[in-house]
Structures are given as C-alpha cells and as structure tokens.
C-alpha cells in the first residue's frame, strides 16, 4: 500500500507529495526541484493531480515567507468552482436536456463572447445584493496599479458572468441520492490575465531574479533592504486580491443566471446553500506560528470542515468534499483529476467518434472543439481521490448529466 506524503529527491526545500514519486512526470519533477530553489520558499506540497505547467507545476501548493511568485498563480487569477444543490430530483428533469443546454448557452456567453454591458441578471430586482457587490468591486477599479489596465474596465464589466474557454464548464449533475446539482468552473477572464501578465513581466526585471533557472519563477519580495514594504509587492497584492474577488463574483453572476434558466424551465425549483472555492490563488496563512504566503496553483483549501469541489472531466462528474485540515499539505487538496495528455496530444489522438463514446449519456457538444477536454485526456478521478484520503473526505459524488463547455 502506498503511503503519503512522499518526498522528491534533489529538492532544496521540503517537498511533500500526495502522488507516488514514479507517477510524477519527469518534466514536472524538474519543475518542482527548480521551484524548491527559489528565494523565500518554505515548502511545497504536491497534489495527486499534479502535472507540468508554465514555470510552476499545476497541482502544487507553494508556501513562501515574505515572497510570492506571480506566475505560480498564473494568468487565470482566482479560477475556481461553485456548486449548488437544488430541490430537484432526477425524476423532475425532462428526458431531453438539449433545450436546457441551449437555454444556458443562450444566457451565459462562452469562449470569447461577452455581455454588451453588465450581465442582464444584475438588472433583476431579486439580485440587488449581487448588483451592489458588483458596484462595490468596480468602484475600486481605478485603484488597480498594473500599467494600462485602466482601459479595460468596460471589458471587465462585460465579461463578468461569462464562462470563457479551455477547461471551464457549466454542468447539471446528480448525486448518489438522485438529487440535482448545478456546478460551474471559471475565473477572472481577461482582466485577471492582463493583471497577471503585467506583474509577471515586472517580476522578471528585478535583480534578485536574475539567476533563476526559469524566468517564470520570478518572485516579488515583501521588504526593501531598509525594512519598508516594497512598492512592487503592494501593487501586486492589491491587484491580485481584486482579481480574486472578481473571479468569485464572475461565478456568482453566472450561477444566478443559470439558476434563472433552470427556474424558467422547471418552475418551483429551489436552491440550497452553495459551495465555492478558488483553486488558483494566494492566501496569507499561519503554520507553526509562522506567517506564510500560500499559493495554490491547481489546489483547493482543505482546512478542517471546509467544503470544496474536485471535478473530474466532462462525462466523469465531480466530488463535493470536506477538508480534513492536514497541516503537512498546507491544509490543501487537489483541484481536479489533472491532465494526462497535453491539449495538442489529445487533439491528435482523439476523434469525433471518441467524443461521442467518451461523453455517452451526457448532453453536451460532441464536436472537434472538445477533443482536448475529453475524459481520456485526464487522469482517473477515483485514483486521484484515493491518494488524498487523508486530505479530504467525500460528501457527495456527482454524475454529469449536462455539460456546457467554453
């Protein structure tokens, strides 16, 4: 029986892995070793969905002291998931979910599409609080510091409540009891990307980053030599936390929109408490009395009692989980199944026939545009869950019925 955590030979800082060492691809292992040599690194936890990323490994938790690595957060700042259980059961759903999918696709812009201004749902008097939250967030837009972003406010408003592309999705699922859930996955859209790219490029110019093995590992250090807080640090942290708030708001606006579509199709539906979690983000946390900056790059908070969402892939469903607060993992768990094939490899390997086979029973697109997102491009979610049994406990296993992809 495999025991966790495992270590990674050749690392300079402590690395604890919830993945068998031989299952970590060589490129990802080299990235972890390079990450362990970055100034300010306190330790790294590798989740069971880990795979190579740009600079930093996807599926890693990076704990730093008075330092932060902007490219580890990546360009989709605050990307994460939201789920809500409904009052519906499987028996309440129509046999043909096609019209419901088309209704969702018609209400939530996907890919590069956006609203013409604020999302229409924000004009609904039932969502006054959500509109007030939106107004508060954009009331602080002018305080963002990254060069040139002042021209992007209109686009950020129009993209709030939109899905985007890649691995983002909206799903209708059912749990083991036959109860229906809504889940969605998205992040901070173009504004998060623009903020991230500008700060990453700034970090690469700083003198202490000159000797790094990969410029993508560039960091901001909190303090100047005289002990004052560095402007670059303050600027990045301000923009970062704004983008994380935007990502959470984006998901809330989308969820309200999808709930409205479902309520129109199935009047009388009710929605219970939601679960929401970032999985590309930074948090200030304390471990053993030490204040640390923790970056979860493809990982969720799994503090004791905290609920989170761990998706598999389109067609394989998701888990609702409860955190167990494992300190050695920096109270974290995986953010999904993790890619097994790169997007390019998946597009070369799979066909439209594979799309039909691998998504059988799921109401979704079955065209060439989803080949890189097929279940076969991802690791087995059940194996991933088994490796992190001491990090989270399952609360519900969701099976996908309908999937909208960006």
- 150 labeled part of a ligand binding site: no
Residue 50: helix, strand or coil by DSSP? strand
Question: 201 is written with which tokens?
Answer: 């490029």
List, in order, residues 6 or more apart from 335 with CB less than 8 Å away.
47, 49, 59, 80, 279, 280, 296, 298, 299, 300, 310
- 279 labeled part of a ligand binding site: yes
- 171 labeled part of a ligand binding site: yes
- 312 labeled part of a ligand binding site: yes
CB burial class (10 A; 0-12, 13-18, 19+) of residue 111?
middle
List, in order, residues 6 or more apart from 393 with CB less than 8 Å away.
321, 322, 324
Q: How many whole angstroms separate alpha carbon 338 and alpha carbon 372?
A: 13
* Pairing relationship of beta strands 41-51 and 15-17 according to DSSP bridges: parallel
* DSSP designation for 388: T
- 307 labeled part of a ligand binding site: no
- 338 labeled part of a ligand binding site: yes
Q: With contact defined as beta carbons under 8 Å apart, do 256 and 130 qualify?
A: yes
Q: How many whole angstroms separate alpha carbon 332 and alpha carbon 287?
A: 13
Residue 158: helix, strand or coil by DSSP? helix
Q: With contact defined as beta carbons under 8 Å apart, do 49 and 334 qualify?
A: yes
- 185 labeled part of a ligand binding site: yes
- 280 labeled part of a ligand binding site: yes
Residue 320: helix, strand or coil by DSSP? strand
- 98 labeled part of a ligand binding site: no
- 200 labeled part of a ligand binding site: no
- Residue written as token pair 């009052």: 87
Q: How many whole angstroms separate alpha carbon 127 and alpha carbon 118?
A: 13
* Pairing relationship of beta strands 290-297 and 58-64 according to DSSP bridges: antiparallel
- 337 labeled part of a ligand binding site: yes
Q: With contact defined as beta carbons under 8 Å apart, do 62 and 35 qualify?
A: yes
Distance of alpha carbon 20 from its chain centroid, rounded?
23
Q: With contact defined as beta carbons under 8 Å apart, do 149 and 138 qualify?
A: no
Q: How many whole angstroms separate alpha carbon 311 and alpha carbon 88?
A: 21
Q: How many whole angstroms separate alpha carbon 144 and alpha carbon 189?
A: 16
- 111 labeled part of a ligand binding site: no
- 405 labeled part of a ligand binding site: yes
- 318 labeled part of a ligand binding site: yes
Residue 101: helix, strand or coil by DSSP? helix
- 211 labeled part of a ligand binding site: no
Stretch (H or E) spanning 183: strand 179-186
Active-site positions read: 335
- Extract the annotated binding site: 76, 167-171, 185, 279-280, 311-314, 318, 335-338, 405
- Extract the annotated binding site for GMP: 167-171, 279-280, 311-314, 318, 335-338, 405
- Extract the annotated binding site for Mn(2+): 76, 168, 185, 279
């Amino acid at each position: 029986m495999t025991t966790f955590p495992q270590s990674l030979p050749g690392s300079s800082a402590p690395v604890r892995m919830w993945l068998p060492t031989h299952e970590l691809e060589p490129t990802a292992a080299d990235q972890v070793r390079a990450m362990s040599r970055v100034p300010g690194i306190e330790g790294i936890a590798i989740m069971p969905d880990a795979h190579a990323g740009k600079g930093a490994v996807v599926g890693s938790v990076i704990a730093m002291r008075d330092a932060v690595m902007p490219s580890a957060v990546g360009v989709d700042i605050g990307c994460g998931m939201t789920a809500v259980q409904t009052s519906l059961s499987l028996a309440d759903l129509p046999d043909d979910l096609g019209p419901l999918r088309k209704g969702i696709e018609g209400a939530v812009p996907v890919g590069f599409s956006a609203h013409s201004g604020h999302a229409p749902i924000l004009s609904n008097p039932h969502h006054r609080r959500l509109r007030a939250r939106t107004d508060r967030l954009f009331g602080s837009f002018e305080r963002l510091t990254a060069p040139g972003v002042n021209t992007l406010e209109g686009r950020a408003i129009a993209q709030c409540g939109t899905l985007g592309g890649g691995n983002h999705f909206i799903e209708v699922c059912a749990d083991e009891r036959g109860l229906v859930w809504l889940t969605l996955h998205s992040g901070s859209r173009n504004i998060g990307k623009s903020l991230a790219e500008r700060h990453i490029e700034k970090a690469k110019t700083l003198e202490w980053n000159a000797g790094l093995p990969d410029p993508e590992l560039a960091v901001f250090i909190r303090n100047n030599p005289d002990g004052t807080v560095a402007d670059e640090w303050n600027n990045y942290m301000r923009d970062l936390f704004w983008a994380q708030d935007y990502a959470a708001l984006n998901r809330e606006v989308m969820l309200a929109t999808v709930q409205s579509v479902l309520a129109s199709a199935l009047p009388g539906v009710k929605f219970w408490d939601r679960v929401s979690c970032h999985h590309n983000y930074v948090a200030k946390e304390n471990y053993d009395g030490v204040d640390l900056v923790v970056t979860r790059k493809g990982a969720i908070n799994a503090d004791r009692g905290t609920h989170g969402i761990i998706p598999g892939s389109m067609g394989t469903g998701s888990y609702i989980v409860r955190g167990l607060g494992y300190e050695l993992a920096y109270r974290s768990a995986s953010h999904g199944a993790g890619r097994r094939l790169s997007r390019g490899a998946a597009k070369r390997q799979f066909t439209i026939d594979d799309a039909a086979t691998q998504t059988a029973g799921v109401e979704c697109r079955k065209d060439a545009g989803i080949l890189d997102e097929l279940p076969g491009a991802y690791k087995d979610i059940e194996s991933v869950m088994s490796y992190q049994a001491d990090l989270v406990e399952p609360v519900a296993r969701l099976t996908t019925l309908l999937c909208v992809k960006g």
